[in-house]
Structure 1
Amino acid sequence: MKNAFGGLLNERRHWTHPVIHQTLVDLLMIQQKIHPGIFAVMDGTFAGDGPGPRCMVPHVKNVLLASADQVAIDAVAAQLMGFDPLSISFIRLAHERGLGCGDPAEIEIVGDEDVAAERWGFTGPFAKMTFASSMQHKIYWGPLKKPIEWSLKTVLAPWAYLASVAYHDSFWYPLRAKAKVAGVMASAWGRLFANWERVTPDERGFPEVGERPAELERSGFSVFLESLRLLWTCLLEAPEVAARRRTRKARRTS
């Protein structure tokens, strides 16, 4: 269901973050009114745990889920991760409104039932929050909501994009990410990525993926300069800045 948040809402979707669970349910209602049928496929080759979307720790799970019920597919995914689906607001609200089935006891699993019985014991987004995710939580739902959230609905909003890029691209990725993804880099998928040009597939895929793991390359100061370039791009492409640019262009051509 969350894909609809980024895929269907316009450039002001961040306005609805404080009520994101209700927003996801509203979007599902709209989709079901417009489309005669919606089929969802969820790629669980990697599953992320922790403060998402940018700082999740990836785990190799090699699971694919598919369903014509978007509520059910999210419920099964939540249960696999170790959560009670009906304790998650958007799943519970959608279930109560009859938009799909959020109760795993009422969902028929077709396929690998052994995998469906797994529980991965994920901790979720709040157990080990990063500085960025903690501040976002305080702004949307905590003590910073009243003094700061208003700015996200004005031309001042790009400060949040700049802060996010500065934290993640200039600090978290260069200094923290390597340890977080070490297991994935050494996994079969990481080795396939590293040895792609030297391995040969057969009719069922890649029987051998090589021994050399994938590696992260750090380029020191050049990485920092790249993060500054991203900051500038982020500012130029910010919805609020782009909207003002469109307005000025329209005035010049009218």
Structure 2
Amino acid sequence: QDKCDLPVVHLDTPPNLWVDYKPKADMLVLDSIFPEGIQIPQTFEGKNIIHLPTMKTHVFTTMTGAMKNAFGGLLHRKRHWTHSVIHETLVDLLAIQQEIHPGIFAVMDGTFAGDGPGPRAMRWHVKDTLVSSSDQVAIDAVSAYMMGFDPMSIEFIRLAHERGLGCADIKALNIVGEDIEKVNWHFSRAENTFASKGQKLIYWGPLKFLENALLRSPIVGWAFLASNLYHNGYWLNTYGKRRIKSALKTDWGKLFQSY
């Protein structure tokens, strides 16, 4: 930021405002989740955007990349309400992005790539890879393919492709650089943490009837506390610190420490 003289914008801090926005595209889920109206950061409208996601797996969406990178910026405080319909949400967010941003570009960082129960309990792998595109569907499809997944088997990628928001057909893409036909990192799509198992029981399992009471009510703080205790209390101290220590011994880790 200092080197490039970039401003820091905190979306929840005045004078930055969240404003009502009515999408032109038909929404899959966001209009029903937010019946009072969809809000977006006013500062986003009319500006180009560059996403800088990382290549990693995710317990809810198999992998996460450029499309999910909008999740933290375009959704306000109730974004956790969308977890049970996360795939449809990401498609809606991409449709909104294409309406409000004149240009969208993504550079995905696969210098380290994350495998396993991401995004918070992954195993890192040095892959020395960068992927870039102005097509957010294509970049996620290519990244998923490199991880060893069929892009069309990942719901948010398939839905976005079918709705014409981008191209997920690997054979139809003009890919410059590495021949990804020969790439398969054999990443895992079936792993969970204790925390994500509990979340899935609430979002898609036998505890679904408790979702509103547990996660959409004033007592929702228990979920944030439980996640913090598990990930930052238990997991970080039993697994995470060892992985961080070994990552810092790599060339990328040494570069990070030199900043």
TM-score under structure 2 normalisation? 0.70
One of 190, 205, 208 as aligned partner of 1:142: 205
Amino acid at match of 1:156: I
Which residue among 180, 186, 204 is the counterpart of 1:121?
A: 186
2-structure distance, mates of 1:51, 1:185:
21
Assess, with a 3 A threshold, how the Cα gap between structure 1 residues 149 and 49 changes in structure 2: closer, same or farther: farther
Q: Give ranges in structure 1 of 5+ residues lacking alignment.
A: 198-254
User: In the alignment, which residue of structure 2 is the partner of 1:243?
Assistant: none
Counterpart of 2:155, as a letter, is: S
Retained in 2: the 8 A contact 1:71–1:102? Answer: yes
Separation in 2, partners of 1:89, 1:104: 16
* Misfit runs of 4+, over 3 Å: 178-183, 191-194
Aligned to 1:245: none
Indicate conservation of the 8 Å contact 1:65/1:73, yes or no.
yes
Say if 1:87 and 1:9 are closer, same or farther in 2 by CA, change over 3 A. Answer: same
Distance 2:146 2:178 in 1: 13
SS at match of 1:156: helix
Correspondence for 2:172 among 102, 106, 109: 106
Is contact 2:111–2:252 with CA below 8 Å preserved after alignment?
no
SS at 1:157 equivalent: helix
Counterpart-to-counterpart distance in 2, 1:140 and 1:11: 18
Look up the equivalent residue of 1:4 and give its one-letter code.
A
Does the C-alpha gap of structure 1 residues 150 and 103 become closer, same or farther in structure 2, counting only changes over 3 Å?
farther
**1:156 maps to which of 219, 230, 240:** 219
Q: C-alpha deviations, 1:98-145, integer Å up to 9, x for none? A: 1000111111111233x6631100012x23x11111111111111122
Alpha-carbon spacing, 1:151–1:177, altered in 2? closer, same or farther (3 Å) = same
Name stretches of at least 5 consecutive residues in structure 2 with no aligned partner.
1-66
Q: Structure 1 stretch 69-78 or stretch 171-180: which is displaced more?
A: 171-180
Map of 1:22 onto structure 2: 88
- Tell me the secondary structure at the aligned position of residue 113 of structure 2: strand
Aligned-pair identity in percent equals 59
Q: Does 1:172 align with 2:238?
A: no
Tell me if 1:185 matches 2:248: yes
Q: How many residues matched?
A: 193
User: 1:192 deviation in Å?
Assistant: 3.6
Say what the alpha-carbon RMSD is for the aligned residues: 1.7
Code of the aligned partner of 1:162: L
Partner of 1:31: 97
User: 2:94 and 2:135 mapped to 1: Cα distance?
Assistant: 11
Residue 101 of structure 2 aligns with an amino acid whose one-letter code is H
